[in-house]
Amino acid sequence: MGQALPVDRFRQATAGTLRAIAGRADLAVSFTGRSTGCSDSEVRLPPPPPALAYDEVMRMRGEADSIALWLRHHDRSIHARYTPDTALTRAAFDALETVRVESLGCKRRNGISRNLAAWHQACCQAQGYDLVTKCSASQFAVALSLLLGELIMGQKPPDAARTLVNLWRPRLEPELRGAARGLGASLDNQSDYARKARSLLSRLGLSNMDLTPDPLLVETSKNMQQLLMPQITGGGVEDSDVQLQLREEPGTGIQSVLESSAGRKPGRQPVIASSVPSTVELPYSVYTTAYDEVVHARSLAEAEELSRWR
């Protein structure tokens, strides 16, 4: 049998490292399709290019490490219990959880911080954060996570986000400096960390803002998912009985930016999730088929992957 090609060796090494970091020897890892996907039992990564440039290798390692850390350190049921109701606050809470899982990886495993830095740089560059000129709600959660990561891990924000971070630093850093020690001490306890994260968001003035999803905030959530939080599907836990009542403390100067960007006024109660049990079967009908699209398998997988499934 001939010697494995460099791309094949890279796939094998990346898959093996992902399983080791996640602590999941049974995890199926494939390199196919155009986007990343993740479930409890399988991870799908985009295939590496034939020519393995250093920057691309580091970016792919960082993406794989990020997913592995979520699989190892993140408990969906705990996260669901403390997740806020409103769109922007939820994105910020997700960002704070990202800091927790990535901090655990950087503290315990050499090399992960460099890989994650390359991944963050690529994502921030793709989002154009080096071109921003003012604070906006669409960038709040990313700025929050990068600034807190700097305080907890000592990891400088990526160059592509330097402008964004510097815009938000005067507004966020004073409060974050006071919270970083407590959050850093709770990295191993997700519940305790989540309570402190909710308290931080309350002190920043987000707890009672009724920011229901509008186009800007929907795009914000998509950006956050792409940049920081792998979408691990399967077995989600709903816990509507636990609601944290946190006091809003205005006067931070942040609230006005978020209200202006989102076009909402503060002071209303958060939007409450639907009380209809998830087991109730609702009538369903197709609204329109005008935009249906047929996607052929060859556009989603490489030839060798198709051969394996055949």
Supply the DSSP string of 57-92, one letter for each residue: HHHHHHHHHHHHHHHHH--HHHHHHH--SSHHHHHH
Position 307 scores a pLDDT of 61
- The model's pTM: 0.69
Q: How confident is the model at residue 269 (pLDDT cuts 50, 70, 90)?
A: very low
Tell me the average pLDDT across 137-141.
89
Tell me the average pLDDT across 106-135.
91
Q: Report d(CA 158, CA 114) in Å as an integer.
A: 11
Q: Report d(CA 202, CA 182) in Å as an integer.
A: 15
| Whether 308 contacts 31, CB under 8 Å | no
Position 144 scores a pLDDT of 95
Tokens of 241: 């009985």
Per mean pLDDT, which of 131-135, 249-253, 305-309 is the most reliable?
Answer: 131-135
Residue 44, strand partner residues? 30, 37
Could you say which DSSP state residue 271 is in? Answer: P
% of the chain exceeding 70 in pLDDT: 65
- Sheet with 42-45: strands ordered across: 28-31, 42-45, 37-39, 232-233
Tokens of 287: 């609204």
Evaluate if residue 309 carries a pLDDT over 80: no
Three-state secondary structure call for residue 230: coil
Give the range among 22-26, 34-38, 146-150 with minimum mean pLDDT.
34-38
pLDDT tens for 165-183 read 999 999 999 999 999 999 9
Give the range among 16-25, 111-120, 244-253, 291-300 with minimum mean pLDDT.
244-253
CA distances from 254 to 1, 236, 250 (A): 62, 32, 9
Q: How confident is the model at residue 217 (pLDDT cuts 50, 70, 90)?
A: very low
Tell me the average pLDDT across 290-308.
61
Position 4 scores a pLDDT of 57
Q: Report d(CA 169, CA 147) in Å as an integer.
A: 7
Position 86 scores a pLDDT of 86
CA distances from 114 to 61, 119, 224 (A): 9, 9, 20
- Single-letter code of the amino acid located at 46: P
Tell me the average pLDDT across 228-234.
53
